[in-house]
Structure 1
Amino acid sequence: MHSNLVLPLVAGCLVSFTLQAAETAHDFNLPAGAVSTALITIGQVSGKQVLFIPGEVAGLQAPAVKGRLSADEAVRRTLMGTGLSAVVTASGALSVQRTGDGLSLDTITIDAARPGGSDDVGFVAQRSSVGTKTPTALVKIPQSVSVVTREELNARKSDNLSDALKYTPGFSSQPASFSRVADDYTLRGFNVGAGTGGILRDGLKLQSNPYDGSVEAYGLERVEVLKGASSVLYGQLSPGGMINTVSKRPTDTPLHELGLELGNYDRRQYTLDLGGPLDDQGQFSYRLTGLWRDSGTQVDHVDDDRRYIAPAVTWKPNDDTSLTVLASHQDTYTGFSPPMSYGLSSYSNTPGYKIERNQFVGEPGYDHFSNRMDTLGYLFEHRFNDNLAVNHSLRYFQANTNWDYLIPQAVSGSRLLRRYSAREERSTGWTSDNNLNFTIDSGRWQHDLTAGVDYYHKTYDSHRFISQTLAQLAPSLNLANPQHTGVGANTAADSGSDLHSSQAGIYLQDQITFDEKWVLLLGGRQDWVESATTTFATDARATRDDKKATGRVGLVYLADNGLAPYISYSQSFQPASVSNPAFGNAFAPLEGEQYEIGVRYQPPGSDTLLSAAVYQLDQENSLSLDSLTNTYVQYGKTRSKGLELEAKSNLTENLQLSAGYAYTDTHVLEDQAASNVGKRIEGVPYNTASLWASYRLASVGLDQLRVGAGARYTGTTRTTPSAYDGKIPAYTLVDALVSYDVDSHWQLQAKAQNLFNKKYLYCNTTCRYGDERSVLGSVTYRW
């Protein structure tokens, strides 16, 4: 259809109905019947504008649509099997078009994906920007990407970022006792936590060190995981990959939500999520997300308190330009879970007293972790024409952390020897990304070119007073009869340092599509890194300047039956964080490279995405501790080989599923100590598996009731305990959730994590006890 005929058709032939927010769910009970009748009813129930040409839907039949759904989900289910689909117009309406016919409403239809470039449907993400920096269908990305949608976050009621990702294959984290204070995670056997730069927010680096505070999951729209070497687009990263957290953004239509949670350990949490337009013209919209939590934990004298507020405003003067300003403020008050050796845990068979599960081995009034984290930034987008667009983003980050705790050292008789650790830290970060996106369509060939420059400057000022000698130890604790009598004076010297680091990079990427079947991805990058570290104890200054080129190449084939096999090679680099006193400067960057072969399968017309990948991932220049000199040397190589399987599916109107399996074989190939060669990397299991299912009981007439359950299996891991074979036992944890929609406004939920209260131990060099069962109930009001 020619564009000059579109407006008359729109004006004269379209039936429209006013609508509310796509994000808002409504109760639908539509019997099977005419598509036109169903579309009209969806518009009336939801208040959302639904546009269609009567002639295109004449005679078409729709299946029954029942349940609590968003308007776009209800329309999608109505159109299943009809050859029609719905897109979002510039005004926010749903426009029904024939699938594959991009001309019928071409002049008024825009690409209105949700935040992060997604078209999430239930648990299934359709697209992501994390793998290419442009909104790209997942089946076109030649690298493993896992996405946790907002609906999946809600279905599992994820309390923190670690919870959000625990059903993602290849991912592992420490227990919540540690995750409360730090985003410290592992992908494919390599650490990708905040200390590596592997936690991003809206595509930009976030924290500057491991203990800048953890990301608040309630403030997120989705979480995207890019696995494997990925420095081409993001600069310095661990070879394991990165995790991009996408902020909740302003909405064009009203959104209002208030929540209350109550749980064991005296947990009380209050939440709010508000959004909508600020003016009648629709140029300005806002979002305000907040959380207040007061809670105890399974350990006495350790709280889990948080205050979080995140305002956002979007200015959209026209369809081609938008500016979104995002800010956040977060206060965390909790306790740091001190590391202990395996020999001090109750799992050890060595004689003597042990630290029992839930035992507080610090001192009340001394042990604490308090953190304040603030961010302010913006995202700017402008499209000059159909082929050229510019994207510019910038953010400032700062964190102030004060944390004192006593470290379990050893047991003498019944006395637990403890070391002081007192730390005052301040971090800042400036980060910016600027790129141009240019598309070329030359018949059978299409090019999607992205060229950009980014910059990241961070500071990390850390004053640390940690006991190093017997004379500096804190008062001991009698494990036979624990009595907390105070801490005394910490006489340890300052062993901290002050780091200033900057990274600048330029990158170029071309996504080349041939005959709409083959997609070749080529990318290259050049980075320049400068760092200077001053050690407070000696005023010694270590500096290093590095430059590094990285690349990526991948090929995807898009078959008509929904299969998308791919092959790729990618590189990474990561500056080492340990100074070398023997040479007075820092180590050379750690370098990674990955070979990956995979396949995705998205059956046509279904809401299912299946993924499988095998990979080999190597890291060069690994650091190794020289036992003779007790200093680090740069002589090492580690390798991770594995298989990952993942399934996300909306199997039926009422059943949603997320499943994953990972086999991870991570070993030391080269090391200063010959005895370490061939050993497994500590804390990385060979096998992990997970399954979560969420089911609405519509088949028995209980449309308002949804039940969910999941299981997470973690295989054996290796650590370095004394007088032990080095294996930590496997364990399986079960989670469950029940949700009841009282009406279109009120929702009740009950959730249990580790439902059967499984006892387990997590070890990665040092050990921590796993989380016990937690139970909470919540009530949510939406209007």
Structure 2
Amino acid sequence: MSRVQFYRWSVVLVSSLVSGLVLPGGAEERSPLTPLKKVGTEQRLEVPLLKGDLGGSKPTDQATMSHLRPRPATTVKEWVAQIEAATVQITGVTLNRTDTGLEIVLQTAEGKPLQVDATKFRTEGTSLIADIPNAVLALPTGQEFVADNPVADVTTIRIAQQDANTIRVSVTGNNALPKSEVTLKAGGLAYSLNPDADEPDEEIVATGERRETYRVPNASTATRTDTPLRDIPQSIQVVPEAVLRDQNVVHLEEVLRNVPSGNQISPSTQSDSITSLRGFPIFPLGGNFLRNGLRERLGAVPVIFTNIDRIEFLQGPASVLFGPGNPGGTINLITKQPLREPFYSLDATIGSFDFYQVAADLSGPLNDSRNVLYRLNASYLDRNSFIDIFEENQFFVAPVLSWAIGDSTKLTIEGDYTDSQTSYVPGLPAVGTVLPNPNGRIPRNRYLGEPDTALNTTIARIGYSLEHQFSNDWSLKNAFRFSSLRLDEVSINPDSLEPNNRTLNRFSRFTDIENDAYELALDLTGNFSTGSIEHQLILGANLGRTYFDIRDSFGSVAPIDLFNPVYGQPFETPPLTRINTFIRKDLGIYVQDQVTLLENLKLLLGVRFDIFDQTDRFFRASTGITESNNQSGSAFSPRVGIVYQPIRPISLYASYTSSFVPVIGVAFDGSEFQPERGTQYEVGIKADVNDRLSTTLAFYNLTRSNALTSDPDNQGFSIQTGEQRSRGVELNVAGEILPGWNITAGYAYTNARITRDNDLPVGNRLDNVPENSFNLWTTYQIQQGTLRGLGFGLGLFYVGERQANLDNTFSLPSYLRTDATIFYQRDRLRASLNFQNLFNVDYFQSSYGELEVFPGEPFTVQGKISWEF
């Protein structure tokens, strides 16, 4: 029995059973739903007129109507025949390029019409999806039709059997919903799948309500093009806005819990965004943070989620596309862009420890032709903490303006501004937290600084993106951003612990930072063929400059008793101790080719050449001498990967990637650091389950040479310890199990160790890296009935034991944290309660060494109300 026959008889048998149970012999057959026709901004059902029934004419009487109805089945045999007749075979699929986009033609057996239910049409992520009932695929080439990159802004068209009598048409766009006009022709009717397209009167526009899921099929960070995850020979995870919303994310550490090998190192009470991926630390100034594909280039930058649409985590080196960067991975923050339809949203959040936040998200057109759009995100945050003395105030605003200059050119101007005042919170000594102290245990809320300490931070960014489409196959993109950071820090830091294990010696630090940077990028992207081999080629260049000036003054301050602290100890601004000014200019030229050898065999080839020049000036007040070093160099970064898909849902891949970074700064003795190098070998399996769930299993070997670690003898300086290696396994699953039931889960085994070093024992584990970690977050929202819109969520986050320093003299214990949420969404109102650390587990997040261990947040509750209007 063929697959088509199986589907057909499955429908027949199930329908026969249902008819025998619930349908009387004389039941009338309902007409199928007619498609939705777009009328302005509203949608209505178009009721077909019967022959002779014109507007304003006399209604046809019942007797006249009766002969127009199909005769009802009175026997099982007749019912089976009617079901078979109602199921339409699709025998062919044709793609035609049009002046405005693409046409998909479904050919049916004997020209039978298809029954199209417009409520099954929707958008999901970057895909247009149409479910067509009472249809089976009977294609001569198999039971699935797939076309990759038919036009520039469409990466994949897939037509497959969704269930026994339903086919699904999926059109996936390039990093967004397709801009090209995508028309589906079936049974003599034409359906425009673009939600905002203006269609001729004779065409029917079918749109549907978007149901957000945790599955994101495409990403741009790994290739600089919008590419299906299954076609990327490297592990990449996307955390979409739906996860950020359901978890009510405020800090980066809350996002990293969803990334198997991700770990937050700097605490949320400090402005640094120091994290680790695959065992190695990454931070903004190191080239590992991107914003819309451009390097961040700023240090001490907090991540604010008010205008973040999604976050893409690329695991492993990525210098071939983005230039200098540490080997652990890359974090790309994708911001919210203007919408064609008016959208207004207000949020208000209140929570434990006097947490208050309000936010606004406004978007829409600025003119009648809707070619000039805007978006404005703004927020204000005021919070305390479980720490005894802590306060944070933060204002953020991010305007975006886009202008469609004709049909082929688009200009987007985007900026943001942050003004933040935060208390400085040092960590707690290991003795009394993770190690025993004869005086007792130090409370996790203990504050060991002084009330007058603060971090005052101002950040401003402004930039543009200009895109031009030469044709359906060739496009050019130019992007630029200028960024500026000003930071004023007054902090009290631990210096040493007295033998009585209760008196902590401290020092004061006064710091001023000026950090300015710009980044310019130019990409030419083209699709072409050489015989039967298809290519997606990128030729690109990056030009950037970073200026970083830090002025430090160190002074003394009275010790503090760990178990009976007395605050208000005087400390004055000491004289200037040192000035470090760093300037780096770099230029990179790269080429990448995504090669489709066969429909199921793909290559990814890339190479980049960088040149850089950096100047480092270091002034010590103790000597009155300024040391100046100028360093120039170059780097070559290759990349190669292969993807083989034995069947459509499965991808087997292997890749080699590399990285480099001209190391910032000098050692305590003034010597320049050598550039770091990173190399990674990775193999893995990716799978898509029914277009609902995506999973990746990756095995990798990542080596970092000339790595930097903290100098244990000279506080504030670093040393290069030689070589470190991380080997591991990662598993990630994300998507929708059933309608309304979403999940994101993962597991990571990370064996990160020192492999060559002059001072530290070879074989020691890298600090703050768990060997085993696990994450699970799942939500379910009721889809029907009186409780429709009510949802629940549960999160489990396990982090294994971690070494707290490179000497491996003590460790941070493992922990299992439980989070939960309950929410209700109906129409334009959403209310939620989020519970973090539900069972109030006492755990430690990270360590800076024996004097600074950072406790995790205790049980907290946050309530949020969102209103769209």
Alignment-derived partner of residue 36 in structure 2:
40
Relative distance call for 1:438 and 1:72 in structure 2 (3 A) is: closer
CA contact (8 A) 1:86 1:96 kept: no
* Alpha-carbon separation, structure 1, partners of 2:358 and 2:524: 41
Relative distance call for 1:34 and 1:483 in structure 2 (3 A) is: farther
Relative distance call for 1:72 and 1:242 in structure 2 (3 A) is: closer
The DSSP-based 3-state class of the residue aligned with 1:232 is helix
Alignment-derived partner of residue 139 in structure 2:
none
1:201 partnered with 2:288: no
Relative distance call for 1:393 and 1:61 in structure 2 (3 A) is: closer
Alignment-derived partner of residue 554 in structure 1:
641
CA contact (8 A) 2:131 2:169 kept: no
Q: How does 1:534-545 map to 2 (within 5 A)?
A: 534-537=617-620, 538-545=625-632
CA contact (8 A) 1:624 1:671 kept: no
1:740 partnered with 2:824: yes
The DSSP-based 3-state class of the residue aligned with 1:183 is coil
1:136 partnered with 2:231: no
CA contact (8 A) 1:183 1:214 kept: yes
Give the greater-gyration-radius structure (CA).
2
Deviation at 1:487, TM superposition (A): 2.4
Relative distance call for 1:606 and 1:253 in structure 2 (3 A) is: same
CA contact (8 A) 1:175 1:769 kept: no
Residue identity opposite 1:184 in structure 2: I
CA contact (8 A) 1:176 1:771 kept: no
Deviation at 1:353, TM superposition (A): 6.4
CA contact (8 A) 2:267 2:854 kept: no
Q: How many residues align?
A: 724
Once the two structures are superposed, residues 199-249 of structure 1 have per-residue CA deviations (whole angstroms, 9 ceiling, x without a partner) of 11000111422x1x2121121111001110110000001110110000111
Deviation at 1:106, TM superposition (A): 11
Alignment-derived partner of residue 10 in structure 1:
none
* Alpha-carbon separation, structure 2, partners of 1:36 and 1:333: 61
* Alpha-carbon separation, structure 1, partners of 2:428 and 2:264: 17
Deviation at 1:376, TM superposition (A): 0.2
CA contact (8 A) 1:504 1:528 kept: yes
- Which residue, 400, 404, 426 being the options, matches 2:490? 404
Alignment-derived partner of residue 237 in structure 2:
146
* Alpha-carbon separation, structure 2, partners of 1:626 and 1:481: 31
- Which residue, 302, 322, 329 being the options, matches 1:241? 329
Alignment-derived partner of residue 704 in structure 1:
789
Q: How does 1:654-669 map to 2 (within 5 A)?
A: 654-669=740-755
The DSSP-based 3-state class of the residue aligned with 1:427 is strand
Deviation at 1:55, TM superposition (A): 9.7
Deviation at 1:109, TM superposition (A): 11
Alignment-derived partner of residue 445 in structure 1:
533
Once the two structures are superposed, residues 477-509 of structure 1 have per-residue CA deviations (whole angstroms, 9 ceiling, x without a partner) of 234432223322243642331111111100011
* Alpha-carbon separation, structure 1, partners of 2:294 and 2:755: 33
- Which residue, 251, 263, 276 being the options, matches 1:186? 276
Deviation at 1:399, TM superposition (A): 0.8
Alignment-derived partner of residue 281 in structure 1:
369
Q: How does 1:638-717 map to 2 (within 5 A)?
A: 638-673=724-759, 675-698=760-783, 701-717=786-802
Deviation at 1:587, TM superposition (A): 1.5
Relative distance call for 1:206 and 1:494 in structure 2 (3 A) is: same
* Alpha-carbon separation, structure 2, partners of 1:266 and 1:523: 50
CA contact (8 A) 1:92 1:252 kept: no
Alignment-derived partner of residue 499 in structure 1:
582
Relative distance call for 1:581 and 1:660 in structure 2 (3 A) is: closer
Alignment-derived partner of residue 5 in structure 1:
none
The structure whose RCO (Cα within 8 Å, separation 6+) is larger is 1
Deviates more, 1:641-650 or 1:558-567: 558-567
* Alpha-carbon separation, structure 2, partners of 1:660 and 1:720: 26
Q: How does 1:22-33 map to 2 (within 5 A)?
A: none
Q: How does 1:421-460 map to 2 (within 5 A)?
A: 421-460=509-548
Alignment-derived partner of residue 169 in structure 2:
85
* Alpha-carbon separation, structure 1, partners of 2:832 and 2:435: 39
Relative distance call for 1:663 and 1:421 in structure 2 (3 A) is: same
Alignment-derived partner of residue 346 in structure 1:
433
* Alpha-carbon separation, structure 2, partners of 1:430 and 1:600: 37
The DSSP-based 3-state class of the residue aligned with 2:449 is coil
Residue identity opposite 1:183 in structure 2: S
- Which residue, 649, 657, 676 being the options, matches 1:570? 657
Residue identity opposite 2:247 in structure 1: R
CA contact (8 A) 1:519 1:555 kept: yes
Relative distance call for 1:550 and 1:670 in structure 2 (3 A) is: same
The DSSP-based 3-state class of the residue aligned with 1:621 is strand
Relative distance call for 1:693 and 1:546 in structure 2 (3 A) is: same
Residue identity opposite 2:801 in structure 1: T
* Alpha-carbon separation, structure 2, partners of 1:348 and 1:247: 43
CA contact (8 A) 1:203 1:244 kept: yes
CA contact (8 A) 1:175 1:770 kept: no
* Alpha-carbon separation, structure 2, partners of 1:643 and 1:506: 33
The DSSP-based 3-state class of the residue aligned with 1:271 is strand
CA contact (8 A) 2:781 2:789 kept: yes
Alignment-derived partner of residue 69 in structure 2:
none
Deviation at 1:37, TM superposition (A): 2.2
Alignment-derived partner of residue 201 in structure 2:
none
- Which residue, 303, 306, 322 being the options, matches 1:218? 306
- Which residue, 592, 595, 605 being the options, matches 2:681? 595
CA contact (8 A) 1:450 1:510 kept: yes
Residue identity opposite 1:426 in structure 2: E
* Alpha-carbon separation, structure 1, partners of 2:569 and 2:455: 18
Relative distance call for 1:782 and 1:614 in structure 2 (3 A) is: same
CA contact (8 A) 1:86 1:94 kept: no
CA contact (8 A) 1:337 1:768 kept: no
Deviates more, 1:120-129 or 1:730-739: 120-129
Deviation at 1:663, TM superposition (A): 0.4
Relative distance call for 1:623 and 1:300 in structure 2 (3 A) is: closer
Q: TM-score, normalised by structure 2?
A: 0.77
Identify unmatched segments of 5+ residues in structure 2. 1-28, 47-102, 134-161, 198-209
CA contact (8 A) 2:773 2:798 kept: yes
Q: How does 1:1-16 map to 2 (within 5 A)?
A: none
The DSSP-based 3-state class of the residue aligned with 2:613 is strand
Q: TM-score, normalised by structure 1?
A: 0.85
Deviation at 1:350, TM superposition (A): 3.7
The DSSP-based 3-state class of the residue aligned with 2:817 is strand
The DSSP-based 3-state class of the residue aligned with 1:385 is coil
Alignment-derived partner of residue 380 in structure 1:
466
Deviation at 1:326, TM superposition (A): 0.5
Please provide the CA RMSD for this pair.
Answer: 3.4
Alignment-derived partner of residue 172 in structure 1:
263
* Alpha-carbon separation, structure 1, partners of 2:368 and 2:236: 39
CA contact (8 A) 2:132 2:168 kept: no
Deviation at 1:46, TM superposition (A): 6.8
Deviation at 1:35, TM superposition (A): 11
Residue identity opposite 1:279 in structure 2: N
Alignment-derived partner of residue 11 in structure 1:
none
Deviation at 1:181, TM superposition (A): 0.9
* Alpha-carbon separation, structure 2, partners of 1:616 and 1:731: 27
Relative distance call for 1:402 and 1:332 in structure 2 (3 A) is: same
CA contact (8 A) 1:692 1:711 kept: yes
Deviation at 1:782, TM superposition (A): 0.5
* Alpha-carbon separation, structure 2, partners of 1:721 and 1:384: 54
CA contact (8 A) 2:115 2:132 kept: no
* Alpha-carbon separation, structure 1, partners of 2:377 and 2:309: 11
Residue identity opposite 1:419 in structure 2: F
Relative distance call for 1:106 and 1:333 in structure 2 (3 A) is: closer
The DSSP-based 3-state class of the residue aligned with 1:252 is coil
Deviation at 1:62, TM superposition (A): 5.8
Alignment-derived partner of residue 814 in structure 2:
730
* Alpha-carbon separation, structure 2, partners of 1:284 and 1:109: 15
Deviation at 1:408, TM superposition (A): 2.2
Once the two structures are superposed, residues 134-174 of structure 1 have per-residue CA deviations (whole angstroms, 9 ceiling, x without a partner) of 11111111111100111222122211233223211110003
* Alpha-carbon separation, structure 2, partners of 1:71 and 1:147: 12
Deviation at 1:533, TM superposition (A): 1.3
The DSSP-based 3-state class of the residue aligned with 1:692 is strand
Identity across the alignment (%): 25
Relative distance call for 1:170 and 1:585 in structure 2 (3 A) is: same
Alignment-derived partner of residue 20 in structure 1:
none
Residue identity opposite 2:386 in structure 1: Q
Relative distance call for 1:733 and 1:589 in structure 2 (3 A) is: same
The DSSP-based 3-state class of the residue aligned with 2:253 is helix
